Structure 1
Amino acid sequence: MNETQLTDDIANRQEKEKVLQVYDGVSKILTLCYFVMFYLKSMNSPSTQYVTPRRLGIYEPIHQMSTWVENFKSNGNPNTSAPIIVEVDTRLDNQSEDTSHGSQGPFCKYEQEASKPFDKIQRRLAQNREAARKSRLRKKAYVQQLETSRLKLVQLEQELDRARQQGLYVGSGVEGVHMGFSGTVNSVVIEDSAWFTAFEMEYGHWLEEQSRQICELRNALQAHIGDVELRILVDAGMSHYFELFRMKTTAAKADVFYVMSGMWKTPAERFFFWIGGFRPSELLKVLVPQLEPLTEQQLIDVCNLRQSCQQAEDALSQGMDKLQQTLAETVAAGQLAEVGYNPRTGTAMDKLEALVSFVSQADHLRQETLQQMSRILTTRQAARGLLALGEYFLRLRALSSLWANRPREPT
C-alpha cells in the first residue's frame, strides 16, 4: 500500500467518524424532542401510552451503521444523510399526529361523561324550583279560599241574626192581633230569610265568575287570539247570562216580589230596573257605540232588533199596568181577608202569580236579545260586546259603592 492510499483511507475514516458523530447528535436531538412532545401530550391526555423510539421510526445508530456506511460509500458525500433525517422527521410527525388523534377520542369521551352529572343536577334543580313554585301557588289559592269562606260565613251569620230579629218582631206584632198565627209567621219569616241568603250567596258566586270572564275576554282581545278560541269565551259568557236567568226564574217561583224589587242588586242597578232586570232596548243604545264600526247590514239588523225590543217591552209594561190596576181594584173592593187564606182571596192570588210569568217573559226577551246580537255580530265584535256589557254593570256597582261611602254631613 503506497502512501497516497494510506492517506485516503485515513481521510475516509475521519469523514465517517464525523458523519457518525453528526448522526448521533441528530438522533439525540430527535429523541429529546420526542420525549418533550410525549410529555406535553401526556399532560393533556392521561390515556396516552408510552411509545418506544423504534415505533416512532427513530432507529438507533448501531443498527443503522451499515446503511449509513453503504450510502456514504455509494455517494461519497456526507450530505446524502439528509433523506434519512427527513424520513425520520416525517415518521415522527405522523406518529405524533396518530398519538394526538388516539388521545382525543378518550378525552372528548371523558368531557361528555363529566358533563352528564352536571346536566342531571341542573334538570333536578329546575324541577325542584318548578315544584316549589306550584306549591306556593296552591298555598296562596288555599289561603284565599279560606279567607273567602270566612267572609261568607260571617255574612251568613249576620243574615241569620237579622232573620231572627225580624222573625221575633213580626211574631210579636201578630200575637197582638191573633195569637194563633205567631209561631207560623215566625217560622215562615226565618225560612224566607234563609232562602234569601242562599240566593244572594249564589248570586255572589255568579258575580265572581263574571269578573273572571271579563278579565279573560279583556286579555284575549288584547292578545289578538284566533276566532276559534275567542268563540269559546263568547259562548261561555252567553251561557253565564243564561244561568242568571235560570236562577231568577227559580227565585221568582219562591218569591216574585223579592226578584222584582231588586233587593239583590245595588242601588244604582235598581235605578235602571225593569221587571227584575235591565231593559234590552236601553242596553242596546249603550252597547252599539262600543261595537263600531258596523257594516250597513249590521246597522239595519241592530235597528230592527231595537224596535222589536221596544215593542215587546211596551207590551209587557202595559200588561204590568193592567195587572196593577186589577189588583188595586181587588184590594179596594175588600176581597182580601186580614189574615190567612180563604176562597175569596183566590182571584187576587192568581193575579199575583201572574207576576212570575211577567218576570219569565222579561228574562226571555233579554235572552233572545243577547242571542240575536251574537248572530248579527262577528265573533270579535260579540266578544267586545260582552266585555262592554260586563264593564257597564261593574261601573254601576262601583257607583253604588261610592254613593254608599260618600261623606255625610252630621245631622
Structure 2
Amino acid sequence: MSRDPRGTAERTNRNVRAFEDFLQGWLVRQEHYLEELRSTLATCHESKEEDLRDLITRVLAHYQEYFEEKSRIANYDVFLVFSSPWCSSFERSFFWIAGVKPNLAFRLVSNSVEDLSGDQVERMKRLKAETMVEERELGDELARIQESVAAPPILELARRMARAEECAQVESAMEALKMDMGVVVANADMLRTRTAARVTDILTPVQNLKFLTALTEFQIKVRVVGSLLNR
C-alpha cells in the first residue's frame, strides 16, 4: 500500500519544527556557556582545577545533547540533516556529511592555544593524521552511496513507476539508500565527538577553556553571519 503523501509531509513538518524548537533553546544555552567560558578564562588563575573541569564537562555535555537530538531526526529522515532547513546556506557551506569536518578542531586549537608542549604537539599531529584518514574513508563511502543512486536498479525503477509493484521497489530502494546514508552520518558524528574528546584529553584544563571558547565563538559567528546574509 502506498503512503499518504499529505500525512508524510505533516509528520516531516512536525519533526522539523520539533528540532527547530530544540535548536533555539540549545543556542540560547550555548550563548550562556560562551559567557561562562569567557568569564572563567579571564579569572582561571583564581579558580580551582576541579571547577574548570566541571565547566568543560558541562560544555561537552551540551554539545552531546545536540548530537543526540540530531540523531533522532536523522533516524526519522536522514535527508533532513543533509538539507538542514534550520541552517542558513552560509552555515551549510561549512558542512561535511551533515556537519563540520572533525579536523576543524585542530585549526581552532592552533589558533587559540599558544602554549602547547612538544609532547602535546606530537600527539595532536598523530591524532590529526588519524582523523584525516577516517574523514577520507567516510567521504569515499558517501561518494559510493551517492553514485549508486544514478545506477540501476534505482534509476531504471524511477523511470518505470507506472506499475504499483515497481513503485514498491522504488520505495524499498530509497529506504535502503536512507539506511546507508544514515550509517555514514552516524559514523561522521561519532568521529566528530570522538575527535573533540581526544583533543580535550590532550589539552590541560586552561587550554581546553581556550579551545572550547574558540569553538563556541566560531559556531555563533557563523550562525550570526548566516542570519544577516539571509535578510
After TM superposition, the score normalised by the length of structure 1 is 0.52
Aligned residues: 225
Does residue 35 of structure 2 align to residue 209 of structure 1?
Answer: no
Please say if 1:231 is aligned against 2:53.
yes
Contact map agreement 2:98 2:185 (CA 8 A) in 1: yes
**In structure 2, C-alpha distance between the alignment counterparts of 1:349 and 1:190, rounded to whole Å:** 19
d(CA) in 2 for partners of 1:303, 1:337: 52
Unpaired segments of 5 or more residues in structure 2?
Answer: none
CA deviation string 1:285-336 (max 9, x = no partner): 2332201121001111111111111110100000011111112103333367
Following superposition, the deviation at residue 360 of structure 1 comes to 0.4
Residues 336 and 348 in structure 1, CA contact (< 8 A), matched pair in contact too: no
CA RMSD of aligned residues (A): 2.1
Alignment of 1:12-161 (within 5 A): none
Paired AA for residue 296 in structure 1:
G
Q: Does 1:322 align with 2:144?
A: yes
Q: Which runs of 5+ in 1 are unaligned?
A: 1-179, 406-411
The superposition leaves residues 71-103 of structure 1 with CA deviations (integer Å, 9 ceiling, x where unpaired) of xxxxxxxxxxxxxxxxxxxxxxxxxxxxxxxxx
Shift of 1:343: 4.2
Q: TM-score, normalised by structure 2?
A: 0.90
Larger Rg: 1
Letter in 1 for 2:203: L
Please tell me whether the aligned partners of residues 262 and 273 of structure 1 are also in contact (alpha carbons under 8 angstroms): no
- C-alpha contact 2:157 2:170 (8 A) present in aligned 1: no
Instruction: Quote the offset at 1:283 in angstroms.
Output: 3.6
Go from structure 1 to structure 2 and tell me whether the alpha carbon gap of 1:325 and 1:383 turns closer, same or farther (over 3 Å shift): same
Following superposition, the deviation at residue 226 of structure 1 comes to 2.1
Residue 332 (structure 1) aligns with: 155
Q: After the TM superposition, which of the residue ranges 264-273 and 374-383 deviates more from structure 2?
A: 264-273
Amino acid at match of 2:120: Q
SS of corresponding position for 2:103: helix
In structure 2, relative to structure 1, the CA distance for the partners of 1:387 and 1:274 (3 Å cut) is: same
Query: Which of 286, 307, 313 is the equivalent residue of 2:135?
Result: 313
Q: Is the 8 A contact 2:105 2:196 kept in 1?
A: no
Give the conservation status (yes or no) of the 8 Å contact 2:120–2:202: yes
The answer to whether the 8 A contact 2:71-2:186 is kept is yes
State the alpha-carbon separation in 1 of the partners of residues 48 and 98 from structure 2.
36
Return the letter of the residue paired with 2:156. Answer: A
Higher RCO by CA contacts (8 Å cutoff, separation 6 or greater): 2
| 1:373 alignment partner in structure 2 | 199
Moved over 4 A (4+): none
- The 1-side partners of 2:159 and 2:194 are apart by 38
- For the residue of structure 2 that corresponds to 1:279, the secondary structure is coil
Change (3 A) 1:282 1:323: same
Is the aligned partner of 1:396 residue 2:218? no
Residues 187-239 of structure 1: CA deviation (Å, up to 9, x unaligned): 22122112110111011111111111111111111122221111100000111
Instruction: Name the structure 2 match of 1:355.
Output: 181
Contact 2:78–2:182 (Cα < 8 Å) also in 1: yes
Quote how far apart the aligned CAs of 1:344 are.
Answer: 6.0
User: How far, CA to CA, are the matches of 2:204 and 2:100 in structure 1?
Assistant: 24
Q: Percent identity?
A: 26
